[in-house]
Amino acid sequence: MTVAIYPGTFDPITYGHMDIVKRAAGLFDQVIVAVAAYSGKQTLFSVPERVTLIQQALAGLSQVTVLAFDNLLVDFAKVQQASIIIRGLRAVSDLDYEFQLARMNQQLADGLETLFLMPAEQYAYLSSTLIREVARLHGDIDAFVHPAVASAMRTKFKE
Ligand code: COA
């Protein structure tokens, strides 16, 4: 059984992330969406909130599980017996950062392979930061995120 791990901050999960998870679920027996507690980013949603939103957005995908982690990704992957790290590539501009991440993870755990998947073209411009900004200014985010996420964001920005 091949286990793939899809790590990220997911603050919040977008239709672009969901597209990557669905593609990975078509390739591997089990996909773990791994929500990073430490990614160097100040987040809008807490880790448990992000986990719950991802579970709601991906309900129905039976081989996908959602877990939080607060250690090194390579160590978490080892405990989960994952042999593949999935990362999404939206545009060439993602490559620089993704290469650094993949190379560092390769140095830390040779044999744990990073696999890049491309989301559908209509999601190529999405980012969690932009969606948070649109929501904060009360713009319409329904085309970018699952209804459960859109509702949680509206609640956040009313608080
Ligand atoms: N659709 C939409 N947006 C996408 C996307 C897609 N398919 N793929 C990436 N993005 C966006 C995200 O929304 C995010 O945007 P933002 O910067 O505006 O928030 C950005 O691209 C990348 O975010 P994400 O995919 O969530 O990953 P990340 O770069 O935040 O995650 C970790 C980095 C969590 C993988 C990394 O910090 C990590 O592994 N941390 C654990 C500790 C560790 O091991 N550190 C050493 C790493 S070598």
pLDDT digit string (tens) for 70-96? Answer: 999 999 999 999 999 999 999 998 999
**How many alpha carbons lie under 13 Å from residue 63 in its C-beta half-sphere?**
17
Residue 39, pLDDT score: 83
The residue among 84, 72, 88, 113 whose CA lies nearest residue 13 is 88
Residue 97 has pLDDT above 70, yes or no: yes
Query: What would the pLDDT profile of 32-56 be if each residue is shown by its tens digit?
Result: 999 999 888 899 999 999 999 999 9
Structure tokens at 157: 């920005």
**74 residue type, one letter:** V
Residue 159 has pLDDT above 90, yes or no: no
* Cα gap 1→82, rounded to integer Å: 10
Q: Does the annotation count 17 as an active-site position? A: yes
Q: Using 50, 70 and 90 to split pLDDT, how confident is the model at 121?
A: very high
Average of pLDDT values for 133-158? 96
Name, in order, each residue with C-beta under 8 angstroms of 36's C-beta and a sequence gap of 6 or more: 7, 8, 9, 68, 69, 70, 73
Q: Does the annotation count 39 as an active-site position? A: no
Q: Does the annotation count 22 as an active-site position? A: no
How far does residue 9's CA lie from ligand 1's centre (Å)?
A: 5
CB of 121 closer than 8 Å to CB of 88: no
Name, in order, each residue with C-beta under 8 angstroms of 115's C-beta and a sequence gap of 6 or more: 4, 84, 85, 86, 87
- Nearest C-alpha to atom 18 of ligand 1 is from which residue? 129
Q: Using 50, 70 and 90 to split pLDDT, how confident is the model at 158?
A: confident
* Cα gap 117→82, rounded to integer Å: 17
How, if at all, do strands 64-69 and 3-8 pair?
A: unpaired
Residue 79 CA, chain-centre distance (Å), reads 19
